[in-house]
């Protein structure tokens, strides 16, 4: 019953936020009563709230701060900390406001002597077995227990018996435990079960012997496990990589976005001096709510290792440090006289829109349209934007009643997006999968693993009937389709299937593409794709290759005898192949535009200075253009973004989505010829076999390396 109440309360909360009803008591008093609202009185002030809301939510809407430990608006109601006690008229004793539904005309008191005494008593019980660890606890300075003990607790303790102690658990390389500090709020248990979908944690024992743990000794196996650190109101669960490194008041905070996948989750980068000390989640209801993946949270230590901090040119003894002038002169000499397909550029997974546009403009000035994006789908059509974005939006997938996943494993490609799909499943959504059978943390119907399964589905069956009958059907196409040689034929078949099955119809577009890297949508938006001449079978091999942070290119993409320039921030595969290395800035060191999988333009912000002699990527490309005699017409970021706005106006409107246009029956022109053939045989395989190491930053991260080792050697 409590879980049902929690779902209805969360739905009511979203409705109120959408309608702008989350206001002060005075504004609520002036609002006219609605049929689906009730009137309650909080400290004698009337307020209108939706039916089904709890007393605690009513107090929040009235602007009254109610202390709580176990309650969280995105989790089911537990009601076990009792810190949120309030007085309700005609009730013989205080009630737990988080678990009490508000009724019409209910009179709630939050500041009476009875309430204050009750909260003081609850706090005294919570502190009975809590250790005096505050000076050495990593939660110090942002601890809910500290804050609420100061406001609601007593100035003395009456407990003289021995405090209990609890053995710490080994939960892996990410989450550090000091279980004696645990107050049994069960937030971590409910998050693991309800949001992450991996029932790693639970409660054993009862009373004084209650413990939070993993039942049997094992490590946390969820890609979202680090979120329990943010949820824990005390110092029981903290970040193991950041243990004993800093205090919150020492850190400078910068709001930014994550670039470890295509979701573009909102993050906060906390830095001290030139060093990133930690990364935590930031609230963004439209994208990630308040969750981020473990890779987004913990890979930051890779920013300090294997960094490129000085220009280098290859000599007889390998790469040698040089000045910027010498490196640019070497590039000018190597590219002199080359034109057309003799020049080639490849953009990497972490490239921002500004640097890709600058590089594209430079190559166009040199007479070359031979610009590619590394990995799968370098020739994705850019003339129909609805064919390469998530048209339903990230938040919109929660409202789906039928979801068909094709060639994707969202659990590793975009873990927070997968949590949204799981939420839809819990609300009654039917999920089907065509592709490699994997554990998605929720049940699904496996409809097959190859293109033949798609053809069979199109001919008919129970799942097709469900799609056609659905009000909000969703089709998610993943990298398992996009990275195949026959992707054009598969995409055309999926476009036709979407229209015939009613996934795309008037007033609804359920066609979604789930990319596996942060830069691809922006590349397509600005036309960073090879020209027809560059893709022609007779195009000659490139003699000069410019790698813009590209480390995962196919072997054939870089000819053996080519002169290679690598511009990036880590000494990864690209730098090892390079003749000239130009050190660039990581995403925490620059202001760059990225477009997430739903087409939402967002911007990173510089939290720390660049390393050594490194420079922002677009400025490096601008300097290269001067050296090769084709200077670009913009000298500052504003001029470059003006050029970006000319090419794709939605890229300069950060945080918003421009609804893409879907033309019925029209397939993107750029792949029409390639789509004429039938899809080939073979399974639709997932492209990420190692979630913890997918780019140069995560591969340089010791913490991610420990996660990989733990997966291989320890029990999950």
pLDDT of residue 664: 58
Q: Whole-prediction pTM value?
A: 0.91
Q: What mean pLDDT is predicted for residues 162-172?
A: 92
Range(s) of the chain covered by CATH 3.10.20.740:
44-128
CB 387 within 8 A of CB 458: no
Q: What mean pLDDT is predicted for residues 544-550?
A: 96
pLDDT of residue 25: 37
pLDDT at 375 over 70: no
How crowded is the C-beta side of 650, counted as CA atoms within 13 Å? 19
pLDDT of residue 379: 54
Tell me the CATH number of domain 312-382+520-657, given options 3.40.50.1370, 3.40.50.300, 3.40.50.740, 3.30.750.24.
Answer: 3.40.50.740
Among 445, 403, 434, 407, residue whose Cα is nearest residue 421: 403
Q: What mean pLDDT is predicted for residues 386-395?
A: 92
Q: What mean pLDDT is predicted for residues 197-208?
A: 91
CB 568 within 8 A of CB 551: yes
Six-digit token string for 612: 């050594």
Rounded CA gap, 437 and 264, in Å?
Answer: 26
Q: Which residue has the higher pLDDT, 487 or 6?
A: 487
Model confidence over 12-57: pLDDT tens digits? 444 434 433 333 333 333 444 456 899 999 999 999 999 999 999 9
Cα distances (angstroms) measured from residue 38 to each of 14, 65, 85, 144, 211: 17, 21, 22, 32, 40
pLDDT of residue 538: 66
Cα distances (angstroms) measured from residue 387 to each of 58, 323, 352, 597: 43, 44, 21, 11
Rounded CA gap, 529 and 507, in Å?
Answer: 31
pLDDT of residue 675: 56
pLDDT of residue 319: 94
SS3 of the chain: helix, strand, coil, percent, to 5: 35, 20, 50
- Tell me the DSSP string of 610-658: PPTT---HHHHHHHHHHHTT---S--SHHHHHHHHHHH-GGGGSTT-B-
389-514: what fold?
A: Dimethylsulfoxide Reductase; domain 2 (3.40.228)
Rounded CA gap, 263 and 142, in Å?
Answer: 28
CB 635 within 8 A of CB 361: no
Residue matched to tokens 């809590």 = 130
CB 434 within 8 A of CB 406: yes
pLDDT at 636 over 50: yes
Model confidence over 393-417: pLDDT tens digits? 999 999 999 999 999 999 999 999 9
Coil, helix or strand at residue 384? coil
Cβ neighbourhood burial of 587 (10 Å; 0-12, 13-18, 19+) = buried
Beta bridge partners of 213: 202
pLDDT at 107 over 90: yes
pLDDT of residue 363: 95
Q: What mean pLDDT is predicted for residues 67-94?
A: 94
Phi, then psi, of 445 in degrees rounded to 5: -95, 120
Model confidence over 423-460: pLDDT tens digits? 999 999 999 999 999 999 999 999 999 888 988 998 88
Q: What mean pLDDT is predicted for residues 274-298?
A: 96
Rounded CA gap, 203 and 707, in Å?
Answer: 25
The domain 164-302 having CATH identifier 3.30.70.20: the answer here is yes
Range(s) of the chain covered by CATH 3.30.70.20:
164-302
Average pLDDT of the chain to the nearest whole number = 89
pLDDT of residue 187: 96
Q: Which CATH number describes the domain made up of 44-128?
A: 3.10.20.740
Model confidence over 651-689: pLDDT tens digits? 988 888 887 766 655 555 445 555 556 677 778 888 888
Range(s) of the chain covered by CATH 3.40.50.740:
312-382+520-657
Six-digit token string for 307: 């960094």
Q: What mean pLDDT is predicted for residues 2-17?
A: 46
Cβ neighbourhood burial of 536 (10 Å; 0-12, 13-18, 19+) = exposed
Rounded CA gap, 462 and 157, in Å?
Answer: 65
Rounded CA gap, 241 and 229, in Å?
Answer: 12
pLDDT of residue 598: 94
Beta bridge partners of 96: 85
Coil, helix or strand at residue 28? helix
Among 307, 310, 314, 303, residue whose Cα is nearest residue 279: 303
pLDDT at 694 over 80: yes
pLDDT of residue 702: 97
Model confidence over 292-333: pLDDT tens digits? 999 999 999 999 999 999 999 999 999 999 999 999 999 999
pLDDT of residue 659: 76
Q: What percent of the chain has a predicted confidence (pLDDT) above 70?
A: 91
Cβ neighbourhood burial of 131 (10 Å; 0-12, 13-18, 19+) = middle
Pairing of β 312-315 and β 580-583: antiparallel
pLDDT of residue 684: 86
């Amino acid at each position: 019953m409590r879980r049902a109440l929690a779902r209805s309360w969360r739905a009511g909360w979203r409705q109120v936020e959408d309608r702008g009803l989350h206001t002060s008591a005075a504004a609520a008093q002036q609002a006219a009563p609605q049929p689906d609202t009730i009137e309650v009185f909080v400290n004698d002030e009337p307020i209108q709230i939706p039916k089904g809301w709890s007393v605690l939510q009513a107090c929040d809407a009235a602007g009254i701060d109610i202390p709580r430990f176990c309650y969280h608006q995105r989790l089911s109601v537990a009601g076990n900390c009792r810190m949120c006690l309030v007085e309700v008229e005609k009730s013989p004793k205080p009630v737990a406001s988080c678990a009490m539904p508000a009724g019409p005309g209910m009179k709630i008191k939050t500041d009476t002597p009875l309430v204050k005494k009750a909260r003081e008593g609850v706090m005294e019980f919570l502190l009975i077995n809590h250790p005096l660890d505050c000076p050495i606890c990593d939660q110090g300075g942002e601890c809910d227990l500290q804050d609420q003990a100061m406001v609601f607790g007593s100035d003395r303790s009456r407990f003289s018996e021995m405090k209990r102690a609890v053995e710490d658990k080994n939960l892996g390389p990410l989450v550090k435990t000091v279980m004696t500090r645990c107050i049994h709020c069960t937030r971590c248990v409910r998050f693991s079960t309800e949001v992450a979908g991996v029932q790693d944690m639970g409660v054993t024992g009862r009373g004084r012997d209650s413990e939070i743990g993993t039942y049997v000794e094992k490590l946390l196996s969820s890609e979202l496990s680090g979120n329990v650190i943010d949820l824990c109101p005390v110092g029981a669960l903290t970040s193991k990589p950041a243990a004993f490194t800093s205090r919150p008041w020492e850190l400078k905070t910068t709001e930014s976005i994550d670039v470890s996948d295509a979701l573009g989750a909102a993050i906060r980068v906390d830095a001290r001096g030139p060093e990133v000390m930690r990364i935590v989640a930031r609230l963004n209801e439209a994208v990630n709510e308040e969750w981020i993946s473990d890779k987004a949270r913990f890979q930051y230590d890779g920013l300090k290792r294997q960094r490129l901090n000085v220009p280098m040119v290859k000599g007889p003894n390998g790469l040698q440090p040089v000045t910027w002038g010498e490196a640019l002169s070497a590039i000018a000499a190597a590219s002199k006289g080359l034109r057309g397909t003799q020049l080639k550029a490849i953009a990497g997974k972490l490239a921002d829109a500004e640097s890709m546009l600058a590089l594209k403009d430079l190559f166009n000035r040199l007479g070359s349209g031979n610009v590619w994006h590394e990995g799968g789908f370098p020739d994705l059509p850019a003339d129909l934007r609805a064919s390469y974005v998530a048209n339903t939006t990230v938040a919109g997938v929660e409202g789906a009643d039928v979801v068909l996943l094709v060639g994707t494993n969202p659990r590793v490609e975009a873990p927070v997006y997968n949590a949204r799909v799981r939420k839809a499943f819990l609300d009654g959504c039917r999920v089907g999968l065509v592709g490699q059978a994997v554990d998605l943390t929720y049940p699904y119907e496996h409809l097959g693993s190859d293109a033949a399964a798609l053809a069979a589905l199109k001919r008919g069956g129970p799942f097709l009937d469900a799609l056609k009958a659905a009000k909000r059907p969703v089709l998610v196409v993943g990298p398992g389709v996009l990275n195949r040689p026959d992707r054009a034929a598969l995409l055309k078949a999926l476009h036709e299937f979407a229209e015939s099955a009613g996934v795309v119809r008037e007033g609804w577009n359920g066609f979604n593409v789930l990319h596996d890297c942060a830069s691809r949508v922006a590349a397509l938006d600005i036309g960073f794709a090879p020209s027809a001449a560059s893709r022609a079978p007779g195009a000659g091999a490139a003699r000069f290759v410019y790698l813009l942070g590209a480390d995962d290119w196919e072997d054939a993409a870089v000819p053996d005898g080519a002169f290679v320039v690598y511009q990036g921030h880590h000494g990864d595969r690209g730098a090892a192949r390079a003749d000239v290395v130009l050190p660039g800035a990581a995403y925490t060191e620059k202001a760059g535009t990225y477009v997430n999988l739903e087409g939402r333009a967002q911007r990173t912000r510089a939290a720390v200075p660049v390393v050594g002699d490194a420079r922002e990527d677009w400025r490096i490309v601008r300097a290269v253009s001067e050296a090769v005699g084709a200077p670009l017409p913009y000298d500052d970021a504003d001029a470059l973004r003006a050029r970006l706005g000319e090419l794709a106006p939605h890229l300069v409107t950060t945080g918003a989505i421009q609804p893409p246009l879907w033309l019925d029956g029209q397939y993107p022109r750029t792949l029409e010829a390639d789509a004429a053939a039938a899809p080939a045989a073979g399974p639709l395989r997932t492209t990420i076999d190692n979630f913890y190491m997918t780019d140069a930053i995560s591969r340089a991260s010791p913490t991610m390396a420990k996660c990989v080792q733990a997966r291989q050697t320890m029990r999950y």
